[in-house]
Structure 1
Amino acid sequence: MATSEESIVLLTDGAASLLAAKTATSILRYRGENVVAVLDRSRAGQTTDQAFGVGGDTPIVAALSDVPDATTLTIGIAPPGGRVPEDWRAILIEAAGRGMKLVSGLHDFLSNDPEIAAAAEKSGSVIYDVRRNNERDLAKAKDLRDDCLRILTVGQDCSIGKMLTALELIKGLTARDVDAKFIATGQTGIMIEGDGCPVDCVVSDFVNGAVEKQILANQHHEVLIVEGQATISHPAYSCVSAGLLHGSTPHGMIMVYEVGRENVHGVEHVPLQPLPKLIEAHEMLAGLRMPSKVIGIAMNSRRVSEEEAAVERERMRGELGLPIADPLRHGVDELVDAIEKLRAEVKSR
């Protein structure tokens, strides 16, 4: 899907929050060498570091004409429902007319838009709808190997840091010369990794099988870190989370939570489940397929100070008796230690 020569413009025009622009911020963090600009008329003239806290001096521009040599326009938001903002269509048509590749992770497929598709056909532009798939495999629950350790990031909520945690774990394991592979299961992860499966756009009967297919195709690696989606307690998205859990059949899980978040993202009138209850529920649900334990906690402490994060870390260590770290503030060594310990235990069985 991606090449090292790509020069990407990220489209976030008018996105009001970091959560809305999480696709852009993640691509800036993990594929920043390919990003030449962000297109956002409301922030033009700023750098991405000023606007999003990541990306360094990457400029924010007001128009495609400001980056004439860019080869790819990537939609940088992940809004609820995944719809294309109406006032973006002119920008997308212009990009297609210029012959730029269009990359979108939205549920609304750009290739289904007659005007965008016509502009792309005329110029030879390629449209890549990341969520488009034809997955039709049922899970078989066989041929999974214990010599390839499977770790799934799970969460207290959606949009909480499961992908970031998974990618940081990959970096931590790779630094220890472990052959680790990131299994992307969402649109942003796929844009970063270049492969994977968009599980929230797979027909429900085939979610487990689609995830299992990713596992079977990558078992030649020593460790697979599978990107989690939402949570099994989310009123809207629990079906995806449960299918992902059973399809990946993890040996262990890393639970992700955000300090200070009290209500479910997207349905704010619903309170979050407490972590001990969620850990127990995940272990029970995973155990219907294979015994699996939460072996560590990834803490998202973006809302609090460094000092408050340190206090919270010690409090949760005492409450849960598990390794805990904010991957960005503290690094992932403590969590990687837990993975290495589990790997040794599985090997000795």
Structure 2
Amino acid sequence: MPQSNQLKNYRHIVLLTDGYSTPFLAKTAISLLRYRRGDVAAVLDVEHAGRDASEVLGTGDGVPVVDHIPPEADALFIGIAPPGGKLPGAWRVHIERAIERGIDVVSGLHDFVGENSNFVALAAASGSRLIDVRRNTEKVAATAAPFREGCLRIHTVGHDCTVGKMVATLEVERELKSRGRDAQFLATGQTGIMISGDGVPIDCVVADFVNGSAEALVRRNEDHEILLIEGQGCIAHPSFSAVTLGLLHGSAPHGLIYCYEATRQEVKGLENVPLLPTKRLMEAYEMAASLRHPCQFIGISMNGRKLTDEEATVELERISAETGLPACDVYRDGAGPLADAVEQLQREQIS
């Protein structure tokens, strides 16, 4: 994406969550607080001004919540990912004030800030940049040309949307890097792009080019030893299965990490549509992925946010016994077992 380097260069980001500072809606802000903590200057939410971000959003210790954009700000990031991706009408005044001061505005919403005529006029006068991370010009079909030998590709997949695929991918990258490994996270969604500064907004790519854009993303990064490719959707989701399959075939992974949220029973956003059993889904993933490239599951990432510590321990033992794979809750325990599995697969690929 043309703005990728610009995204990574911001060092005084203000996260706009005004009136939407909940774990469900402010997922983007929460992830940026976790993974770009050093670049965040403040969270903007008038109601909670004066508090600490960790009190309001559960993370970001030491980041103040404010009712205005502080003087040092160099970018205003839209910190929410609401259903439908619409920009809240009440936020226009915050955005206009930022633009008037020449501050860049970065948004991952479907409702592009760069298509608002008033924002565009103000930006033309101030020099502010309006960056929509979902806007893209991907128009390349997949070729199935082989990737560099020695580039191990690991892809996270899930039993549903919003189960922690991005977090699991980032945590495995963090753990592998702590071991001195050349691992690289590849973002395929707006929040991941805002964290890493690069990637492809796969849910806004024209259908014919989903596979090709994923393939091209891998190709641009295949000089790394290990690629960790963020998953999207679910292969069985009635609404969003297309991007899941496109990522499987475009990135041609060697290994898969299965991500799920404990206690979830129904497909997100669709009432009375039950989730498929774990083993059936895993078989479907392996079969679909292997149509393009030999592939296998290597581990399980459990999202245990609704479980107590004791319940999480029992659930991890259960899913590991059911699948025969190492399992962990990366929030509670880190990604050590999954990083071990990646390194084991790499040794098997080399031998």
What TM-score, normalized to structure 2? 0.96
Task: Return the match for 2:287 from 267, 284, 289.
Answer: 284
Q: Aligned equivalents of 1:2 and 1:315: distance in 2?
A: 41
Q: Is the 8 A contact 1:259 1:300 kept in 2?
A: yes
What corresponds to 1:40 in structure 2?
A: 45
Q: Is the 8 A contact 2:21 2:57 kept in 1?
A: no
Q: Is the 8 A contact 1:4 1:34 kept in 2?
A: no
Q: Is the 8 A contact 1:156 1:257 kept in 2?
A: yes
Local SS of the residue matching 1:102: strand
Task: Return the match for 1:134 from 134, 137, 145.
Answer: 137
Task: Return the match for 2:236 from 233, 236, 247.
Answer: 233
Local SS of the residue matching 2:20: coil
- Structure 1 gaps, min length 5: none
Residue 87 of structure 1: how far off its partner (Å):
1.3
Q: Aligned equivalents of 2:10 and 2:107: distance in 1?
A: 19
Q: Aligned equivalents of 1:81 and 1:278: distance in 2?
A: 27
What corresponds to 2:107 in structure 1?
A: 104
Q: Aligned equivalents of 2:60 and 2:22: distance in 1?
A: 16
One-letter amino acid matched to 1:24: A
One-letter amino acid matched to 1:27: L
What corresponds to 1:61 in structure 2?
A: 66
What corresponds to 2:193 in structure 1?
A: 190
Q: Aligned equivalents of 1:95 and 1:327: distance in 2?
A: 36
Q: Summarize deviations over 1:230-289 as a string: whole Å, max 9, x none.
A: 111112111111111111110010010011111122223322122111111101111111
- Structure 2 gaps, min length 5: 1-5
| Distance change >3 Å, CA 274–CA 46, structure 1 → 2 | farther
Q: Aligned equivalents of 1:106 and 1:337: distance in 2?
A: 36
Q: Summarize deviations over 1:84-112 as a string: whole Å, max 9, x none.
A: 11111121111111111100011111110
Q: Aligned equivalents of 2:121 and 2:138: distance in 1?
A: 27
Q: Aligned equivalents of 1:43 and 1:283: distance in 2?
A: 46
Cα-Cα RMSD:
1.2
Q: Summarize deviations over 1:155-190 as a string: whole Å, max 9, x none.
A: 111111111111111111111211011111111111
Residue 43 of structure 1: how far off its partner (Å):
2.3
Paired positions, count = 346
Q: Aligned equivalents of 1:345 and 1:3: distance in 2?
A: 35
What TM-score, normalized to structure 1? 0.96
Q: Is the 8 A contact 2:87 2:111 kept in 1?
A: yes
| Distance change >3 Å, CA 123–CA 301, structure 1 → 2 | same
Q: Is the 8 A contact 1:232 1:282 kept in 2?
A: yes
Q: Aligned equivalents of 2:104 and 2:342: distance in 1?
A: 39
What corresponds to 2:33 in structure 1?
A: 28
Task: Return the match for 1:161 from 149, 164, 168.
Answer: 164
**Alignment of 1:143 onto 2:143:** no
What corresponds to 1:49 in structure 2?
A: 54
Q: Aligned equivalents of 1:86 and 1:5: distance in 2?
A: 26
Task: Return the match for 1:340 from 339, 343, 349.
Answer: 343
* Comparing 267-276 and 101-110, the one that deviates more: 267-276
* Comparing 53-62 and 268-277, the one that deviates more: 268-277
Task: Return the match for 1:263 from 257, 261, 266.
Answer: 266
**Alignment of 1:81 onto 2:84:** yes
Q: Aligned equivalents of 2:20 and 2:331: distance in 1?
A: 23
One-letter amino acid matched to 1:46: R
Q: Is the 8 A contact 2:215 2:250 kept in 1?
A: yes
Q: Summarize deviations over 1:291-340 as a string: whole Å, max 9, x none.
A: 21111000111111111111111111111111000112111111111111
**Alignment of 1:224 onto 2:255:** no
Q: Is the 8 A contact 2:16 2:44 kept in 1?
A: yes
What corresponds to 1:171 in structure 2?
A: 174
Percentage of pairs with the same residue: 51
